[in-house]
Amino acid sequence: MTESQPRKISVEGAGEVSGLLLHPEDARWLMLLAHGAGAGMRHLFMERLANELAAVKIATLRYQFPYMEQRRGRPDSPAILTATVAAALLAARENAPDLPLLAGGKSMGGRMTSQAAAQDLLRGVRGLVFFGFPLHPPNKPGTKRADHLAQVPSPMLFLQGTRDTLADLKLLEPILKNLGRRAKLHVIESADHGFHVLKRSGKTDASVLTELARTAAAWAEEII
């Protein structure tokens, strides 16, 4: 497996953040991969996901949000978060100019990516991939966080677990239906927000990571 290469990304108004580029030789895509609110780009889930994506020919550029880079506990303002996503896009174009681009992330990282897309900050990105879209706070059902999705021009893939307390599927499914062909939902039985599965499901956490990557790769080929 190719090793991740460190990168530095300059974010307007927030200084410099770290990135990790994992670029297999046979890559067909490059995905901007943003971390969730509580853990950075080196979290085990992010590392394993990047490796699984590399195995299905998707290169990844993981990156830190400024608050995580500076080891502050509270996430940055939405403006800084979306500016970071946009900065990562510029870095991706510099590092792999010949690869078509995807963008997304885990939980908050995915939501900030979709907000950046809705603000027209991700021109040229072919599609967005959400690894657990956080529709609402834990066990507090609501849909306000999805209001901006109607302004996202790109195709979107939602990878969601049935035990995800941040995304009631009964609320998410009609939202995606209203988005029409732009949105696709892939449900993983018994997975929670971190994509941990129950033993009785017959799956393992490792097999779920493989499923996430393979589903994303197959979907990417569909939207070319």
Q: Where are the domains of the chain?
A: 5-223
Neighbouring-strand partners of residue 10: 16
66: closest CA among 92, 52, 85?
85
CA-CA distance, 186 to 191, in Å (whole number)? 12
pLDDT tens digits for 152-174? 999 999 999 999 999 999 999 99
How do residues 31-58 score in pLDDT, each as one tens digit?
Answer: 999 999 999 999 999 999 999 999 999 9
Q: Give 197's DSSP letter.
A: -
- Residue burial 44-53, b: 16+ Cβ < 10 Å; e: rest: ebbebbbbbb
What are the angstrom distances between the C-alpha of 211 and each of 93, 141, 188, 192, 220? Answer: 27, 27, 9, 15, 14
Q: How far apart are CA 202 and CA 160, in angstroms?
A: 17
- Given a cut of 80, whether residue 13 has pLDDT beyond it is yes
CA-based R_g, the chain, Å = 16
Mean per-residue pLDDT over the chain, rounded: 96
Max Cα distance, the chain (Å): 48
- Superfamily covering domain 5-223: Alpha/Beta hydrolase fold, catalytic domain (3.40.50.1820)
* Residues paired with 156 in a beta bridge: 128, 183
Instruction: Output b/e per residue, 72-94; b: 16+ Cβ within 10 A.
Output: eeebbeeebbbbbbbbbbebbee
What is the per-residue pLDDT for 1?
61
- What pLDDT shows up at residue 33? 98
**Percent of the chain, pLDDT > 90?**
96
pLDDT at 169: 98
| pLDDT band, residue 224 (cuts 50/70/90) | confident
From first CA to last CA, the distance across the chain in angstroms is: 26
Please tell me the pTM assigned to this model.
0.96
**How many beta carbons lie within 10 A of that of residue 40, not counting itself?**
17
With H, G, I as helix, E, B as strand and everything else as coil, classify residue 217: helix
Tokens of 163: 């035990």
Partners of 9 in the beta sheet? 17
